[in-house]
Amino acid sequence: MSAYVKGLIGGGLIFGLGYWLMKTTAPNPDELYKKLSPDLQKQVKSPETLYDVNQIVEEMKEERNDKR
């Protein structure tokens, strides 16, 4: 095999291993939320936090539209 093919196979293996490690070790959002203390769970679901997130998303949408 040529060095190019070996490089592609090696890169694919490294990429695949990294993706597999991420999927098996990183918690999904529901698991992460369940592990939080009750105080932090309330803080995450508070109206102020949701408002801040919505405001940030709207600002990002405006910036994206300005770039077009």
| Domain limits, the chain | 1-28, 36-68
pLDDT at 52 (0 to 100): 80
User: Are 41 and 33 in contact, with CB atoms under 8 Å apart?
Assistant: yes
Predicted pLDDT at 22 = 94
Could you give the CA distance from residue 47 to residue 64 in angstroms, rounded to a whole number?
26
Q: Which helix (H) or strand (E) holds 22?
A: helix 3-25
Q: How confident is the model at residue 26 (pLDDT cuts 50, 70, 90)?
A: very high
